[in-house]
Amino acid sequence: MRRKMAAGNWKMNGLRAQLGELDDLGSAHPNASCDIVICPPATLVAPAVARTKDSTVSIGGQDCHTQVKGAHTGDVSAPMLADAGVTYIITGHSERRQDHHETDDDVSAKTQAVWAAGLTSILCIGESKAQREADETLDVIARQLAASVPQDASADNLVIAYEPIWAIGTGLVPTPEQIDEVHKFMRATLQDRFGDQIGNGIRLLYGGSVNAGNASTIFTIADVDGALVGGASLKSSDFSQIISALEHSNA
Ligand code: PEP
């Protein structure tokens, strides 16, 4: 039985004043039956960890360097994030792949850095609009899974988020059938590569314009173990509704 996960990615949003959202989230879900993760910007990681010390909310980083330390101005390493108290680090988000030209090899190296630091990677993959329209979605997913996911994957160190690029921040969401097709394909691919125990244990999230209105429908899809949420994770009142929908899907 895979434990469900609701992960929020604040991206480059949030000043210290926003940390109160974490208090509200923790108090709204004191006995959460799913994992709740917030990935704030790097400046807020340490205070967010302190703020959630006694709560059901875990904190994650949004990215890390492949190296442990060195002359890489502006970058943050996985051991630094671990030292600050995170449990998770997002790797391969499409905004990093686009804005910073990160390749599957980079994502694989970053994911290995996350694992070496003893943390869990929330690894993102997903097709562009042009690839979806050209009917290349499953080929893209197969390629990204093969090249971005390192060999030492386990149910504990890896969560995969299927995030179609065209659905991120656009209000567009794939049909349940389209999400179902990709999640089934990811599950079968992971089973083939890692065997049934690991392949069945790795959690698969859907991400892309998830909100309080569409979450319940998305969470009925068999291989969807939760969501990676951008915009709707910024306010605890919105994210809390998504968490509740996920908890009810457990029942
Ligand atoms: C994301 O950036 O991972 C994301 C899913 O964003 P949004 O929910 O805003 O589409």
Whether 207 lines ligand 1, by a CB cut-off of 6 Å, is: yes
Instruction: Compute the mean pLDDT over every residue in the chain, rounded to the nearest whole number.
Output: 97
Which has the closest alpha carbon to 207: 167, 245, 148, 242?
167
Q: Which residues are catalytic?
A: 93, 163
Whether 210 lines ligand 1, by a CB cut-off of 6 Å, is: yes
- For the question of whether the overall pTM of this predicted structure is more than 0.95, the answer is yes
Whether 169 lines ligand 1, by a CB cut-off of 6 Å, is: yes
Structure token digits, residue 201:
């244990």
pLDDT in tens, 106-124: 999 999 999 999 999 999 9
Residues of the chain with pLDDT under 70: 251
**pLDDT for res 1:** 85
User: What spacing in Å lies between the alpha carbon of 70 and ligand 1's midpoint?
Assistant: 31
**pLDDT for res 86:** 98
Cβ-contact 220, 245 below 8 angstroms: no
User: What spacing in Å lies between the alpha carbon of 209 and ligand 1's midpoint?
Assistant: 6
Whether 39 lines ligand 1, by a CB cut-off of 6 Å, is: no
Whether 102 lines ligand 1, by a CB cut-off of 6 Å, is: no
Determine the angle formed by the axes of helices 137-148 and 104-116, rounding to 10 degrees: 40
Neighbours of 187 (CB within 10 A): 17
pLDDT in tens, 14-53: 999 999 999 999 999 999 999 999 999 999 999 999 999 9
Nearest residue CA, atom 3 of ligand 1?
230
Q: How far apart (Å, rounded) are the C-alpha atoms in residues 121 and 168?
A: 19
Q: Give the ligand 1 atom nearest the CA of 11.
A: 2
Nearest residue CA, atom 1 of ligand 1?
230
SS3 breakdown of the chain: % helix, strand, coil, rounded to 5? 45, 15, 35
Cβ-contact 128, 166 below 8 angstroms: yes
Q: Give the ligand 1 atom nearest the CA of 209.
A: 10
Name the 3-class secondary structure at 88: strand
Residue 76 makes CB contacts below 8 A (sequence gap 6+) with: 42, 61, 63, 64, 65
Structure token digits, residue 46:
């340490």
